[in-house]
Each structure stands twice: as structure tokens, then as C-alpha cells.
Amino acid sequence: MRRKKLILVVAIMIGVAFAFNATRALAEDMTADDFKKEALKHITTITVSEAKALLDKGGVTFLDVRTETEFKKGHIPGAMNLPRGKLEFKIDKEIADKNAQVVLYCKTSGRSALATYTLVKMGYKNLKNMDGGWEAWTKAGYPVE
């Protein structure tokens, strides 16, 4: 009986130690660049020329995840603005169809990569992150509003 209690106590201690180490491993120090690299593993990224072709074809929503101030300074024609900081709270009202074709962009594609990955985790299926973001779009000389 005493041996069974000892084995039980040791098993509990090992379980607690394992849980502590697992939690600690999840709380690793990650930089913003690390988060972006992790997101890029799980999302589809397209070039600005591919995004332009989708814009010309139609039937695709362009989602600008920059701030409202950035958006007001210029954006892709017809794009909707939903800043990344409000995304999880408002996306279901703005884009209810989780099968909608959506191209996300920001200034350089960091925030949009993270936003795209967030929406993937929320069940959205047809998302594309525009590589290079707004800067690449304007550098290519594509239309702006």
C-alpha cells in the first residue's frame, strides 16, 4: 500500500513537471518576425501582379488591415478597411461568408500575414496575403483611391 502511494506521488510530480515544462515551451520568446514566419507557413501568399489580376477579374474582396489613417491616405480601389487590431471582433459582420475570396494587405505584408493566419484559424478558407503590401502595389504603379 505504501509503495502504491509512493508511485502515485512520483507520477503526480512527473506530471506536474511535464505540464510546467510544456507550458514554458509554449511561452518562448518570439519576435514579430518570428510570428510572421510562423504565419507564412500556414497561409497562401501572392504577388502584387497576381493580386492585380484578381482585382481586374472581380469577385474578390480586398481587405486592407492598416489603420484608418493609413487607409485614408490611399488604398486599392474598392478595398474595405478593417484594421488588424479590430479584425477578430468585426470580421464576421464585414465578411460573414467564410468561403469568400479575400486578398489581405497592409503596408509591407507583415500585419496582413498575421491577419490572414488569424482568419485561417477562424475558419476562413479562400484567403490570400499580398506580398509586399501597399508599398509593392504603389511601386508597381497600380491604381489607387
Q: Give every CB contact of residue 46 below 8 A, 6+ residues apart in sequence.
A: 54, 103, 128, 129, 130, 131
Sequence-separated (6 or more) residues with CB below 8 Å from residue 114: 35, 36, 39, 84
CA dihedral 100, 118, 44, 48 (to 10 degrees): 80
- What is the distance, to the nearest Å, from the Cα of residue 50 to the centroid of all Cα atoms in its chain? 19
93 is known as an active-site residue: no
Beta bridge partners of 61: 102
Given the residues 82, 106, 113, 127, select the one marked as catalytic.
Answer: 106
DSSP letter at 99?
A: T
User: Which CA distances in Å does 107 have to 45, 49, 57?
Assistant: 15, 16, 23
Active site residue ranges: 106
